[in-house]
Chains A and B, each alone.
Chain A
Amino acid sequence: MLPFQLHFKPGQTVYGQVVYAAKKAVVAGLLRPGDRFPSVRQLSQELKINPNTAHKVVAALIEEGLLEVLPGIGTVIAKSHAPSRAETRELLSNEVERLVVEALNLSLELEDVTSAITQTWQRITKKKS
């Protein structure tokens, strides 16, 4: 069992989708600092993905500071890691792109989109408070 859910979508790279799922799990608090992260073999076996891809995912997450390697224990979510603004913003990039493509298909202007986002934002945040 993996500590995060992942349903692969066609047309996107496996690597990108796994990295995204792992980051989302950390941002959402499913994985907390100090929690064990699955090994390359576990990732590969559970997700049925290429081990080299799994290896690339783990290496990239270590490189970014999201994971750290503790000798004798394995790979865990880094203690010091607070997701940067750039990282959290990057998590939205797919959705943003989809929104922009839809808006262009409907021949909307940029202002139409931003005002729709602002309105929705205000509606939701008002409800919350």
Chain B
Amino acid sequence: MNTIIETKGLNYRYGTQDAVRNLDLTVPQGSIFALLGPNGAGKTTTLKTLMNIIEPSAGEAFVLGVPTKRLGAAEFQRIGYVSENQEMPDWMTVGAFLAYCRPFYPGWDEDFCSRLAKQFQLPLDRKLKHLSRGMKMKAALLSSLAYRPQLLVLDEPFSGLDPLARDEFISGMLALVDEADWTLLISSHDIEEVERLVDWVGFLERGNLRVCEPVAKLQERFRRIEVALDTPPAPNAPPPLPHADWLDISLIAHSLSFVESRFHPAGIEVKVRQVYPHAREIQSSPMTLREIFVALARSPLPTAPALN
């Protein structure tokens, strides 16, 4: 597995607060990677360090194999970056803006650019400041797609977009699919809008990276477990010590429910009976990404770093 982005112990401090804490992030080449997490979790800060817009307080980050502090024109010609609050020369028309960007990129593909402009229904003669938010985001995306970047980084690209604009935006960024080993890194607070799109996820929560792995692997190891107990534990007895792999445990009368974070179909029964010998029936059901992240967010940080 080739990595296109890698951070080691990345830290970013605002005043006395760690916005991002000890981040070990790996984005494999060729993946569609979603950096997910609630607002204020540190997603934008992370992406800004990766794009060398801000410098990390500690730790290292590499993009395309180059330390972020040394990223230059040669690398940025292979990277597309669009953020939610993209600054754009508002006084320019869409056409003038694209013409202005073109000379910076030797790989600019004019045919591809006009095809996308048509697909996005962008009015080339309108000034950027007169565009709707959706149109403006599409113009920003177009200016970052036209040179067929090897790595596309999108920071909360869908926020404030209506469903139609969002669909067009997604189709647009997938126009690069034919490129070999093309990588997309996208941050979002809305899991559902990227769930079917991504094959790798990182989940940031209050500056900590709780998971960073392939979606398939994550969904394989997480299960909601429901157990029917023959006899409930005595009400005044101390509750049995749960297994370290279990999250979000609730026990009401005969019904025990928890999230298993290292599920194995052959081992679950033994594991449950070690703690609850009176388990009668054990059922496991797969979880959506949202359910997994809710379970993680509800549970305290593990002492060990993110599992991998």
Contact = CB atoms under 8 A, between A and B. Distances in A.
Interface in A42-63: 44-53
Given A11-B286, A41-B177, A49 B197 contact: yes
Contacts of A40: 177
A51 B174 contact: yes
A14 interface: yes
A4 interface: no
A71 interface: no
B170 A51 contact: no
B170 A50 contact: no
A48 to B, nearest CB: 5
A10 interface: yes
B284 to A, nearest CB: 13
A52 B184 CA distance: 12
A121 interface: no
B174 A41 contact: yes
A47 B177 CA distance: 14
Contacts of A51: 32, 174, 177
B199 A52 contact: yes
B257 to A, nearest CB: 17
B171 interface: yes
A44 B177 contact: yes
A50 B171 contact: no
A48 B196 CA distance: 7
B198 interface: yes
Interface in B150-179: 167, 170-171, 174-175, 177-178
Contacts of B174: 41, 44-45, 48, 51
A50 B288 contact: no
Contacts of B199: 50, 52-53
Contact of A11 (B30, B171, B288): B288
Contacts of A45: 170-171, 174-175, 177
Contacts of B177: 40-41, 44-45, 51
Contacts of A41: 174-175, 177-178
A48 B170 contact: yes
Contacts of B30: 52
Given A11-B286, A48-B167, A52-B32, 17 more contacts: A10-B288, A14-B196, A40-B177, A41-B175, A45-B170, A45-B175, A46-B171, A47-B196, A48-B170, A48-B196, A48-B197, A50-B32, A50-B196, A50-B197, A50-B198, A50-B199, A51-B174
22 contacts: A11-B286, A14-B196, A40-B177, A41-B175, A41-B178, A44-B174, A45-B177, A46-B171, A47-B196, A48-B167, A48-B170, A48-B171, A48-B197, A49-B197, A50-B196, A50-B198, A51-B32, A51-B174, A51-B177, A52-B30, A52-B199, A53-B196
Question: 3 closest A-B pairs (Cβ-Cβ)?
Answer: A51-B177, A45-B171, A41-B177
